[in-house]
């Protein structure tokens, strides 16, 4: 839900040489109204939005090396953080809209133990960590 309601009011269509009355009014969350004028210069909407109450955390996303998988919540984007446990060889990290992720984020190298990868996973997409003898030590996903 937006903090501001925007309504536009127009007067009658102007003919030659006539001006048209056109205003935009902003209703603030506290119920007050504000109509910008030419004298206002730059109009700032400092209301912002607070998503703290709607940012879920998936503490165990369930990613396993060698298997493409989705998060349990496929309705929103998430920032995913994966920490490498045992470094293997040829490790890759890829994401994509199908269970064969084609968008490589990290390409075929040997990670170090404790190395962390952070990436944004679009809603409904898959992620896959692959690598010989590579293990995941920790993983978490935070909703965007």
**Which residues share a beta bridge with 136?**
84
Domains defined along the chain, listed by start = 5-40 (no CATH), 55-143 (2.60.120)
**The model's pTM:** 0.64
pLDDT in tens, the chain (144 residues): 444 455 444 444 555 555 545 556 666 667 776 666 555 555 555 566 666 677 899 999 999 999 999 999 999 999 999 999 998 888 999 999 999 999 999 998 888 999 999 999 999 999 999 999 999 999 999 998
Residue entry with tokens 């190298």: 109
Q: Cβ contacts of residue 79 below 8 Å, gap of 6+?
A: 118, 119, 120, 121, 141, 142, 144
pLDDT at 12: 47
User: Using CA atoms, how far apart are residues 72 and 87, in angstroms rounded to an integer?
Assistant: 27
**Which residues share a beta bridge with 109?**
91
One DSSP character per residue, 10-28 reads: E-PPP-TT----EEEEEE-
């Amino acid at each position: 839900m937006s903090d501001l309601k925007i309504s536009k009011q127009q007067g009658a269509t102007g003919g030659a040489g006539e001006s048209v009355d056109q205003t935009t009014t902003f209703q603030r969350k506290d119920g007050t109204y504000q109509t910008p004028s030419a004298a206002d210069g730059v109009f700032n909407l400092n209301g912002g939005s607070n998503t703290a109450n709607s940012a879920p955390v998936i503490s165990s996303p369930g990613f396993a090396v060698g298997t493409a998988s989705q998060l349990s919540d496929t309705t929103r984007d998430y920032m995913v953080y994966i920490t490498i446990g045992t470094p293997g060889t040829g490790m890759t990290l890829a994401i994509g809209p199908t269970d064969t992720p084609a968008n490589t984020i990290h390409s075929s190298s040997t990670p170090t133990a404790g190395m962390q990868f952070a990436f944004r996973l679009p809603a409904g997409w898959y992620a896959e960590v692959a690598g010989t003898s590579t293990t995941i030590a920790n993983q978490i996903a935070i909703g965007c």
